[in-house]
Amino acid sequence: MKNKSETKLQVACRQIPEYLKAMELLKQYVLINGMSEATLSSYTRKLTDLALYFNKLPQHITEDELREYLAILIQQAKSNSKTEFKHTVYSMRFYFKMLGKPMTVSLPVIKEDKNLPVVLSKQECVSLIELTKNFKHRLILMFIYGAGLRVRELTNLKWSDINVNRMMIHIKQSKGRRDRYVPLAKSLVADFVQYMLGFNRSEYVFFGPDCNGKMSHSGIRFLLRQAVMRAGIHKTGVCLHALRHSYATHLLEDGLDIISIKELLGHERIETTLVYLHVANYTRHQKMSPLDTLFEDVSDEDLNKHKEKYTELSVLKNSRMLTNENQLNLFDAEN
């Protein structure tokens, strides 16, 4: 009988001979090829679901069995993207490549989705943020939209990655193992300084009880769903990534050129940016955050006051108001 605390991976390793060895080999192969932990997690999860469904190693699954399984995934898909279907196919391809064996099953060709991304209007973004009364939750939405962050980039964000004096956010080792800098919105500084005093228990800016101290992705998705309901937004497909799409689209509409947007999003290829922007305005403008266009403009005088308050926090190192060493390192990093 399955223990309630057991994960699917643990169950598979216990029930299926050689499965643990196969997953250890998968981990080694992923790391050797310079792929991310997120990719390893996705491949492991999909292969484990598949193995448990048939109670055998993936290489022992017949073509008829796989076709049956993929058909079920398509029928259960909640959207046209068929994410579970695609990732299962990708996982199987990688698994057989790892084994160095010829494919024993015929895997379908995955066609790229050509759907336009879901983009919120500026007024919808204002409603989404202003109607979120929980301070931490509102700040999370402001960071995702205001910096165009992927959810994993948000949860990986550490105090030392945010430089208020330079007004920059350092996104480290994101998709494709690339680093990038994005502007910190002036509209975020006051709330961020206040947040530092009230939420300073972790090295991560947005901490949670699980995920090694990070806030869980499911928790962030839930708070977005609640915010969408409060804002009365009825568009289908509004997810966390829609805030990132909105960030890029609003920057384009505000006059920022497509090359700068590509850099801010961390895209490797310009084609990726063009897919959902569909406009190439190459007039160069100073990089900024679209969050600053939603609310009343923050004057340089007000911004300097917030910065001064932020700097004053550095003298609280010996007080009880600022005790998190990860936050104290933030000041040391700013030279």
Residue spans per domain, the chain: 8-99, 122-333
User: Which residue of the set 150, 245, 262, 306 is catalytic?
Assistant: 150
Question: Does 170 qualify as catalytic in the annotation?
Answer: no
Alpha carbon distance 69, 89 (integer Å):
11
Report the relative pairing of strands 180-183 and 168-171 from DSSP bridges: antiparallel
CATH no. of 122-333? 1.10.443.10
Please check the confidence at residue 328 and state whether its pLDDT lies above 70: no
Q: Which of 2-11, 38-47, 73-82, 295-304 has the highest mean pLDDT?
A: 38-47
pLDDT band at 143 (very low <50, low <70, confident <90, very high): very high
pLDDT, residue 5, reads 60
pLDDT, residue 196, reads 86
Please check the confidence at residue 247 and state whether its pLDDT lies above 70: yes
Sign of CA pseudo-dihedral 46, 49, 53, 58: positive
User: Which residue of the set 46, 82, 262, 267 is catalytic?
Assistant: 267
Question: Does 150 qualify as catalytic in the annotation?
Answer: yes
User: Which residue of the set 137, 244, 245, 250 is catalytic?
Assistant: 244
User: Which residue of the set 241, 287, 307, 309 is catalytic?
Assistant: 241
CATH no. of 8-99? 1.10.150
Mean pLDDT in residue range 168-193: 89
- Integer-rounded Cα Rg, in Å, for the chain is 23
pLDDT, residue 111, reads 66
Alpha carbon distance 190, 95 (integer Å):
49
User: Which residue of the set 8, 122, 175, 287 is catalytic?
Assistant: 175
> What percent of the chain shows pLDDT beyond 70?
81
pLDDT, residue 282, reads 41
Mean pLDDT in residue range 180-198: 91
Question: Does 276 qualify as catalytic in the annotation?
Answer: yes
Please check the confidence at residue 1 and state whether its pLDDT lies above 60: no
Alpha carbon distance 23, 285 (integer Å):
48
User: Which residue of the set 69, 152, 276, 309 is catalytic?
Assistant: 276
Is this structure's pTM higher than 0.85? no
Question: Does 245 qualify as catalytic in the annotation?
Answer: no
> What percent of the chain shows pLDDT beyond 90?
35
Alpha carbon distance 146, 298 (integer Å):
14
Closest CA to 154 of 143, 166, 167: 143
pLDDT band at 320 (very low <50, low <70, confident <90, very high): low
